[in-house]
């Protein structure tokens, strides 16, 4: 630890909060603290401000403000005592404005909550920074009952404003979204090198919220938008690195050292994207307790790709939703589209799982088309996805299934396989889905112990076999499911992998491969 009191010090908590988010991207954080001679950050100790400054500089240069924004949204979790204070302020505000239609009372309560919250925010900054001065903190000035200017002073760089903007909007949103639309505008920043301090100025404007979404949906939108922006930036970084490598190969004067350096950058960038994309797949808490057994195969053809599988939040009660999607392309283009699809599913089922699978697929169709601007006549892209959605109700032993080209396999205890076909449409493309081809809900009953499987066409279309010219097909898949119908989902996917690898042999992998197998 840097023990020179002339150097500004920062609480370990302020670094740990950043490290948690950065860990999704790879070893950036670990390399920086290792170079500082530190094995692990202790939240209860003090460190040189340069560690966090360097961390944020590298994150910003690589992934832009989007990454700093995501870090900022989670920072308050590293300060539990202050979080309790903010939650208490929120309870006071909620009690004050309950059942009132008085705009004057709402504005008065808003001002009091905002001023008190900024006092807590100021305390966090001043207690997390230690230097030869006591300028750290936040000051607030009121321009109108719903308009405020704040000035924040802290030990970060001029380009790191997104971090603080996110800390404010994430906490304010927890309390105010049911009443107010929150607009935060960054005004300017000024770095004072002798003080190791930057002054940020923001303007806050609150408008009465008149939309139809509830607070949970609005907060989910905010979180999904932030994550979406970061994921896109990471994938774009991969794409840019690949372009640099291609350019380096074309340049005849490129030295081996330069080429190796560019190649290392590409590998690092793609690994960042791969790590983040894998992190978007359902975590254990979304799987546990919902299946008798569950297993998956997720193998992008090019490290990152366009296939994904998704589960609705485990915090929601009642039926839950499982989705599998196969997006246009593979590699970087496919990964970009898979991020849009995954975040669209989060939006559709942000608050509950009430929307039936067929309706949800059409909502997904809308989100993909508008997200890629393919609803416009001048659109230059025409991409989309195939998908399967299952709404599983274990209390009733039923599954509501709808598919867009992807189907569902059901295997009973006698090894009898039923293939439930999806509709013939794909989703998100420029041409709207024809009425006759729109997905429809199929209600499927099952017995305890039945096995289900969904696979993307990268599995069934893979060329191989003795001639190297035949696709794997559905019949071979059904044979595997029959032969292993008494096994666990893990045993079934292991058999699928073995058969698939033997079939592929020396043939090149053609597409991303995904399979989801589960027993209920």
pLDDT at 176: 86
- With respect to CATH, is domain 1-211 assigned 3.90.1520.10? yes
Least confident of 10-24, 34-48, 267-281, 373-387: 267-281
Confidence bin at 17 (pLDDT 50/70/90) = confident
pLDDT at 62: 78
Confidence bin at 73 (pLDDT 50/70/90) = confident
Cβ–Cβ contacts within 10 Å for residue 475, how many?
Answer: 8
pLDDT at 205: 95
- Separation CA 322–CA 389 (nearest Å): 6
- Separation CA 489–CA 227 (nearest Å): 31
Range picked from 76-90, 260-274, 473-487 for highest mean pLDDT: 473-487
277: pLDDT strictly greater than 80: no
Which residues have C-beta within 8 Å of that of residue 144, sequence separation ≥ 6? none
Collect contacts of 275-281 with beta carbons under 8 A, ≥24 apart. Answer: 275/24, 275/25, 275/26, 276/24, 276/25, 276/230, 276/231, 276/234, 277/231, 277/304, 277/335, 277/338, 277/339, 279/24, 280/231, 280/308, 280/339, 280/342, 281/308, 281/309, 281/310
5: pLDDT strictly greater than 90: no
- Separation CA 149–CA 203 (nearest Å): 5
Architecture of domain 280-519: 4-Layer Sandwich (3.60)
pLDDT at 24: 60
Beta 180-192 vs 137-144: how paired, if at all? unpaired
Least confident of 18-32, 236-250, 468-482: 236-250
- Separation CA 29–CA 35 (nearest Å): 10
Q: Which helix (H) or strand (E) holds 431?
A: none
pLDDT at 317: 81
- Separation CA 322–CA 342 (nearest Å): 12
- Separation CA 111–CA 101 (nearest Å): 17
21: pLDDT strictly greater than 70: no
Q: Quote the mean pLDDT of the chain.
A: 87
pLDDT at 339: 82
Q: Maximum CA pair distance of the chain?
A: 79
For the chain, helix (H) and strand (E) counts, in that order, are: 15, 19
Indicate the pTM of the whole model.
Answer: 0.71
Which residues have C-beta within 8 Å of that of residue 211, sequence separation ≥ 6? 181, 218
Share of the chain above pLDDT 70, in %: 88
| HSE-up of residue 119 (Cα within 13 Å, Cβ side) | 9
Taking only the tens place, the pLDDT of each residue in 355-388 is: 999 999 999 999 988 888 888 887 777 889 999 9
269: pLDDT strictly greater than 80: no
- SS3 state at 379: coil
216: pLDDT strictly greater than 60: yes
Written in H, E and C, the secondary structure of 312-353 is: CCCCCCCCEEEEEEEECCCHHHHHHHHHHHHHHHHHHCCCCC
What residue ranges do the domains of the chain occupy? 1-211, 228-268, 280-519
pLDDT at 411: 96
Average pLDDT over residues 43-48: 92
The alpha carbon of residue 210 and the mean position of all alpha carbons in its chain are separated, in whole angstroms, by 28
């Amino acid at each position: 630890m840097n023990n020179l009191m002339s150097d500004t010090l920062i609480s370990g908590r302020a670094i740990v909060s950043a490290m948690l988010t950065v860990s999704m991207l790879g070893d950036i954080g670990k390399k920086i603290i290792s170079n500082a001679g530190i094995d692990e950050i202790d939240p209860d100790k003090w460190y040189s401000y340069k560690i966090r400054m360097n961390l944020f500089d590298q994150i910003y240069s690589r992934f832009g403000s989007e990454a700093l924004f995501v870090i900022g949204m989670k920072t308050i979790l590293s300060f539990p005592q202050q979080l309790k204070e903010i939650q208490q302020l929120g309870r006071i505000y909620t009690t004050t404005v309950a059942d009132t239609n008085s705009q004057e009372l709402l504005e008065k309560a808003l001002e009091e909550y905002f001023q008190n919250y900024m006092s807590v925010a100021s305390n966090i900054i001043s207690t997390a920074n230690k230097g030869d001065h006591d300028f750290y903190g936040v000051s607030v000035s009121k321009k109108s009952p719903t308009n405020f200017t704040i000035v924040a002073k802290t030990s970060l760089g001029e380009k790191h404003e997104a971090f603080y903007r996110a800390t404010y909007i994430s906490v304010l949103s927890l309390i105010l979204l049911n009443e107010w639309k929150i607009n935060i505008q960054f005004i300017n920043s000024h770095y004072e090198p002798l003080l190791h301090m930057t002054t940020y100025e923001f303007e806050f404007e609150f408008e009465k919220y008149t939309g139809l979404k509830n607070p949970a949906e609005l907060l989910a939108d905010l979180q999904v938008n932030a994550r979406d922006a970061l994921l896109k930036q990471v994938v774009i970084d991969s794409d840019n690195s690949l372009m640099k490598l291609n350019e380096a190969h074309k340049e005849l004067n490129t030295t081996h050292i330069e080429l190796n350096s560019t190649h290392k950058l590409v590998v690092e960038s793609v690994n960042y994207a791969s790590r983040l994309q894998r992190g978007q797949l359902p975590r254990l808490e979304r799987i546990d307790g919902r299946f008798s057994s569950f297993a998956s195969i997720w193998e992008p053809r090019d490290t990152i790709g366009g296939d994904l599988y998704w589960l609705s939040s485990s915090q929601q009660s009642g039926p839950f939703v499982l989705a599998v999607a196969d997006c246009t392309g593979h590699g970087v283009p496919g990964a970009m589209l898979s991020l849009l699809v995954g975040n669209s599913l989060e939006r559709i089922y942000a608050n509950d799982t009430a929307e039936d699978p067929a309706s949800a697929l059409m909502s997904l169709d809308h989100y993909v088309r508008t997200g890629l601007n393919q609803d416009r006549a001048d659109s230059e892209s025409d991409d989309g996805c195939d998908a399967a959605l299952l709404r599983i109700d274990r209390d009733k032993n039923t599954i509501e299934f709808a598919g867009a080209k992807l189907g569902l396999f059901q295997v009973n205890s006698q090894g009898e396989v039923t293939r439930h076909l999806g509709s013939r449409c794909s989703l998100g493309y420029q041409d709207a889905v024809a009425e006759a081809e729109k997905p429809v809900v199929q209600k499927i009953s099952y017995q305890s112990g039945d096995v289900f499987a969904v696979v993307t066409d990268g599995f069934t279309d893979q060329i191989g076999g003795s001639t190297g010219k035949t696709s794997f097909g559905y019949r071979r898949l059904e044979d595997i499911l029959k032969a292993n119908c008494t096994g666990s989902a893990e045993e079934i996917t292991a058999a699928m992998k073995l058969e698939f690898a033997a079939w592929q042999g020396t043939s090149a992998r053609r597409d991303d491969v995904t399979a989801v197998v589960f027993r209920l």
